[in-house]
Every structure is written in structure tokens, then in C-alpha cells.
Amino acid sequence: MAKLERGSYKGIWVIAEIQNKSIHSVSLELLSKARELKQQNCLHEPVTAVLLGENPDAYTGILSEAGAEAVIIAQHPALEIFQNETYALVLQGLIEERRPAVVLMGATAMGSDLAPTLGAKLQTGVAAHCVDLRLNEKEDLVAVVPAFGGKVLGDILCPECRPQMATVRPGILAKPVCYRKAACKVEQYNPAEALKKDSGRVKAVSFIPEEMKGVSLEEAEVVIAGGFGAASHEMWELVEQLAEVTGGAVGCTRPPLDAGVRQRRTDDWDKW
């Protein structure tokens, strides 16, 4: 494990995610959180959003409103559909060159795959599925993670390696703040060099959006949740009916999931 000079790593980065032609809400939540951490701890480096993909330019406005003071854009046709290998290679190149102290991502399907891939390439630690973030007196990142089905919360630190990485669940941090008219430096980064390292062993072929049924959990104002008592098909039916009449989303704890009455949908990742 490479132990690095901590001091040479500075600033907070958020790897932003584009989903359905807009920035995922968790990326915005993270940017606002990063700004808050920066202000509370009087950091100097600008809060930076990194955006990969094809034609990502259109999103800089919304990123800066949520708190980004700088945006790095890496455009390339090879980045059109998410591939852990290419995305991680590009980010690895960037991070090794620019040395951010903290790198944050949403604990989305993409983030949950990309963060550990990148962490392994950089040989640094990743705190997974965090529910809160703070900096301690040494300016080290303290990530709070749930354990045993949320029964306990544990702090995770990464004091000796850089960058310190974390993924955060969507909809858990405060809603993004609006930073109007903030200055934002936009920079294009050419990923071609990094992509040369891609062996091509992972190839994305297609991307098929699923039709959304009901309201997604992160965006829902009302969540109807079922637990142990609803772990039967009859009871679950009631939960779904109630969600429908209240215009809410459906959530559950582990027992209904284990009992198979609640099908885990892709958008349910770990929200229990």
C-alpha cells in the first residue's frame, strides 16, 4: 500500500453522474455538501465537479449552482455509456495528475462499481454507501456508514492514503443549496491518453432505459415503507395500494425483501 505525502493532496472533488439526460440529484447533493465542508474548514481549493461522457458541456450551469467552483469535462465517444474500466482509467489519470484530497461519488449503480474500481487502481480506501460526511480536526475525511441493516453507524477514515474516497447514498444528504451567479471555471480534459491504456476487455453494447413505474425513492415526498409485519404477499399488496393513493414511493426493510414479496428494483439499491 502506497503511503503518500498527505499534504500534497488538496481539495474536494465530486464525480458527477449523468442519468436520463440530466445530472443525478445525488451529484448535486454532494456538491453542496462539499461546499459546506469547504466553508466550515476554511479550505482553499475550489470544489470541483468532474463530468465524463459525450457532450457533457450542457450541465456546467447546474453543477455550479449546486456548489461547483470548477468543472473538469472529459469528452470522448468511448465514454458515452458507462464502462468501469474506461471511466476508472480516465479518472485515475486525472487524479494522479491533480491530486485531490477527497473524491466523492453517488452510491448509485454506477458509483458503487466505479468507486471501488478506481480505489483499487489508486490503492486507496473507499468508504461505501455513506450517510454523512465531515472533516475532523486534522482535515481528514470522516465518512459515516450504516451497518447491520442500519442498526449501528460507524465512522470510516482513510488517514494514510490519498485521495480519500467515499460514495454517498442518494436522497440522504440535504437537498442541494442554490449558489447563484457563482464563478465557475470550466476546463476540458483530453482523455485520449488515458484511454490508450484500455485493453478493451469490457465493452458496453447497449443501454436500455427501463420504464419507470411510480415515483422513485429519492425523489418521493411520501414513502410508504413496509417492514417485518408486511413480509407477506397480502400485506405487501396493501403497502403498494397505499403508496398508489398517496402518490408515494414504496420502500421496505430487509424482511419483505428476503421474503421475496418486494422485488428489489434496480433503483432500490440499499435504501433500506
Partner 1 sequence: MELKIAVCIKSVPDPAYYDKITIDAKTKCLTRKGVPSIIGKGDKVALEQALKLKEKYGGKVTVIGMAPPEARFEMKETLAMGADEALLLSDRLFAGADTLATAYTLAQGLKKMGSFDLVLTGTESADGATAQVPAQLGECLSMAHLWNVKQFSLLSDNEIQATVGLEHAVAEYIVCLPAVLGIARDAGKPRYITASGIKAANCKTCKVMGNAELQAEENRLGETGSPTWPGDITIPSMKRQGRVLEGSPDVIVEALTAALRVAGINIQRKAV
Ligand X SMILES: Cc1cc2nc3c(=O)[nH]c(=O)nc-3n(C[C@H](O)[C@H](O)[C@H](O)COP(=O)(O)OP(=O)(O)OC[C@H]3O[C@@H](n4cnc5c(N)ncnc54)[C@H](O)[C@@H]3O)c2cc1C
Q: Is 145 in the site for ligand X (CB under 6 A)?
A: yes
* CB 249 within 8 Å of CB 271: no
Which one of residues 36, 113, 182, 215 is an interface residue with partner 1 (CB under 8 A)? 113
Q: Where are the beta strands (DSSP E) in 139-200?
A: 141-147, 152-157, 164-168, 185-189
* 8-state DSSP, 254: H
Which one of residues 142, 194, 239, 261 is an interface residue with partner 1 (CB under 8 A)? 142
Give 183 or 209: the residue with its C-beta nearer to partner 1. 209
Give 110 or 145: the residue with its C-beta nearer to ligand X. 145
Q: Is 154 in the site for ligand X (CB under 6 A)?
A: yes
C-alpha cell at 153: 453507524
CA distance 262 to 57: 39
Q: Is 117 helix (H, G, I), strand (E, B) or coil?
A: helix
Q: Is 180 helix (H, G, I), strand (E, B) or coil?
A: coil
Q: Is 149 in the site for ligand X (CB under 6 A)?
A: no
Q: Is 95 in the site for ligand X (CB under 6 A)?
A: no
Place of cell 482535515: 139
Q: Is 115 in the site for ligand X (CB under 6 A)?
A: no
Q: Is 107 in the site for ligand X (CB under 6 A)?
A: no
Shortest Å distance, C-beta 89 to ligand X:
21
Which one of residues 216, 232, 235, 259 is an interface residue with partner 1 (CB under 8 A)? 216
Place of cell 450504516: 146
Give 109 or 195: the residue with its C-beta nearer to ligand X. 109
Of 118-137, which residues contact ligand X (CB under 6 A)? 125-128
Which one of residues 61, 177, 235, 269 is an interface residue with partner 1 (CB under 8 A)? 269
Q: Is 234 in the site for partner 1 (CB under 8 A)?
A: no
Q: Is 147 in the site for ligand X (CB under 6 A)?
A: yes
C-alpha cell at 56: 457533457
Give 156 or 182: the residue with its C-beta nearer to partner 1. 156
Alpha helices in 52-104 (DSSP H): 60-66, 84-98
Q: Is 90 in the site for ligand X (CB under 6 A)?
A: no
CA distance 165 to 48: 14
Which one of residues 156, 177, 235, 259 is an interface residue with partner 1 (CB under 8 A)? 156
Give 70 or 166: the residue with its C-beta nearer to ligand X. 166
CA nearest to 92, candidates 120, 61, 113: 120
Residue closest to ligand X when measured from CB atoms: 147
Q: How far is CA 176 from the centre of its chain?
A: 14
Shortest Å distance, C-beta 150 to partner 1:
7
Q: Is 210 in the site for partner 1 (CB under 8 A)?
A: yes
* CB 176 within 8 Å of CB 28: yes
CA distance 198 to 195: 5
* List of residues contacting ligand X (CB under 6 A): 125-128, 145, 147, 154, 156
